[in-house]
Amino acid sequence: MAVTENIHTRRFPEPAAALRLIKPITWFPPMWAYLCGVVSSGVSPVGNWTLVLLGVVLAGPIVCGMSQAANDWCDRHVDAINEPHRPIPSGRIPGRWGLWIALAMSVLSLGVGWQLGPWGFGATVIGVLAAWAYSAEPVRLKRSGWWGPGLVGLSYETLPWFTGAAVLSAGAPSLPVIVIAVLYGIGAHGIMTLNDFKALEGDRQMGVNSLPVTLGPHRAAQVACAVMSAPQVVVVFLLFSWGKPLHAAGVCAVLFVQFWAMTIMFKDPKAKAPWYNGTGVLLYISGMMIAAFALRGLA
């Protein structure tokens, strides 16, 4: 009892809880996408390492970390049902500290984005606005199982990919780079849908209409897998048409392994979704980098 009381009367955030609030495990996808953009630009990173490293840190720990803090603050009532041990509902991030952290990191994001030039800053502004539009009222796009995951997918994959290519090129990326970045961002909608499985009960109670809530676990898993697969099929055909058959074959190979993983998940979507998010997503992002090297050859 004394421990619980101490937690809920805390005046300042617990340092470990503050780190958990910004969820380092979520930083990898946008950091990887930024690197895909760097590779696809066709510009050598030699002599540009500051832009590469600054962009990776901005995409991951800063912007993505900010979005996680904002989401946890706006989701504190849902998390009290789904995951009461999280930093905010558990009291380890007391009072309005979750909000202050999210706002401070929003300002930090814009400051760092400014260092990446007009393209980098513009992309950062879009990323910050998207993070708050996803989580905060009155917009709160996460209430929709279609708009919410779509926004996150584009923010986590397309936007950092575009940014990495634009910053290294010091201008707008080529059309093939934009097309491939958008396709992988669309496919990430399915990844975000599978991520919603862990909050199924709380979302249902709090009126968050995720696809697992509105369609049920099995149907939602089928839709998620279709949304992930279709853009990759298009990527394969585009790479073939652009004279990159080996890269197309590589993307095709990782897609077929994803199909195998999907059959495993379909046996019990609610239980297997976390497993797929560790297995299938690794294959998905491997295809992203294969495509990025193909695009480098086109630049």
Start-to-end C-alpha separation, the chain: 63
CB 61 within 8 A of CB 194: no
CATH class of 14-172: mainly alpha
Q: How confident is the model over 248-262, as pLDDT tens digits?
A: 999 999 999 999 999
CA-CA distance, 294 to 73, in Å (whole number)?
40
Percent of the chain topping pLDDT 90: 73
pTM given for the model: 0.91
CATH class of 174-298: mainly alpha
Structure tokens at 13: 């955030």
Average pLDDT, the chain: 91
Q: How confident is the model over 32-91, as pLDDT tens digits?
A: 999 999 999 999 988 899 999 999 999 999 999 999 999 999 989 878 887 889 999 999
Q: How confident is the model over 149-164, as pLDDT tens digits?
A: 999 999 999 999 999 9
pLDDT class of 4 with cuts at 50, 70, 90: very low
pLDDT of residue 27 exceeding 60: yes
Q: Please provide the DSSP assignment of 241-276 as one string.
A: HTT-HHHHHHHHHHHHHHHHHHHHHHTSHHHHHHHH
CA neighbor of 19 nearest in space, from 108, 86, 113: 86
- Angle of the 159-169 helix axis to the 28-40 helix axis, nearest 10: 40
Q: Where in the chain is the domain with CATH 1.20.120?
A: 174-298
Measured CA distances, 49 to 41, 109, 161 (Å): 14, 19, 16
Q: Where in the chain is the domain with CATH 1.10.357?
A: 14-172
pLDDT of residue 1 exceeding 60: no
Please, which residues have CB within 8 angstroms of residue 150's CB and are 6 or more apart in sequence?
A: 186, 189, 192
